[in-house]
């Protein structure tokens, strides 16, 4: 068995304390191969470090909590959007409505002008 093949197995379950989960040829290889033994230790160390990260917390900025509470308040109407985005959303709708109304006015005035020309 080649070291490369063994390493594939080692990466699969670094959290296992014993080698029982490994296929027999891999276990035999590990008994005699110092390089793979070292690799096994390193995978366990990596796993330990990653597990240690579970205790770390990443602090969010202070706006997050009020934003969450705001969005789940029983009286909240637009619950899917957070306040900053809600403002942008409402502004967007207002802008679209204004543009639509202006477009309709232009269209109506053009049509009425055309109608007057045809009538004349």
Partner 1 sequence: MSKEIDNLVAKAKSGDHRAFEELVRETYVDTYTLAFRLTGDPEDARDVVQEVYLRVHKSLRRFRGDSQFKTWLHRITANCASTLLGRRSKHRHDPMPDDAPIADTNPELDPAARADVGVLRNQLTEALRGLPPKLSAVVVLRDIYDFSHEAIAAELGISESAAKVRLHRARKRLREILHTHDESEEAEAHAV
Residues that bind partner 1 (CB under 8 A): 8, 11-12, 14-15, 42-43, 45-47, 49-54, 56-61, 64-65, 67-69, 71-74, 79-80, 82
Burial classification of residue 27, based on how many CB atoms lie within 10 Å of its CB (0-12 exposed, 13-18 middle, 19 or more buried): middle
Residue 107 CB, shortest distance to partner 1, in Å, is 33
Shortest Å distance, C-beta 18 to partner 1 = 19
Kindly state the smallest distance separating residue 116's Cβ from partner 1, in Å: 48
User: Minimum distance between the CB of residue 22 and partner 1, rounded to whole angstroms?
Assistant: 14
Q: How far apart are CA 74 and CA 29, in angstroms?
A: 63
Cβ pair 9, 33 in contact under 8 A: no
What is the CA angle 101-90-93, rounded to 5? 30
Write down the residue that tokens 């891999």 correspond to: 26
Pick the closer one to partner 1 by CB: 64 or 104: 64
34-52 vs 3-10: helix axis angle to the nearest 10? Answer: 20
Nearer to partner 1, 50 or 108 (CB): 50
Q: By C-beta, is 66 or 103 nearer to partner 1?
A: 66
């Amino acid at each position: 068995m080649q070291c490369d093949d063994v390493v594939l197995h080692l990466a699969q379950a670094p959290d296992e304390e014993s080698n029982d989960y490994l296929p027999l040829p891999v276990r035999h290889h590990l008994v005699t191969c110092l390089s793979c033994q070292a690799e096994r230790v390193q995978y366990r160390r990596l796993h330990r470090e990653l597990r240690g990260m579970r205790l770390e917390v990443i602090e969010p900025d202070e706006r997050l909590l009020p934003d969450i509470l705001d969005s789940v308040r029983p009286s909240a109407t637009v619950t899917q959007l957070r306040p900053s985005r809600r403002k942008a959303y409402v502004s967007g709708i207002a802008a679209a409505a204004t543009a639509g109304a202006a477009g309709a006015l232009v269209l109506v005035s053009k049509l009425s002008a055309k109608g007057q020309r045809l009538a004349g």
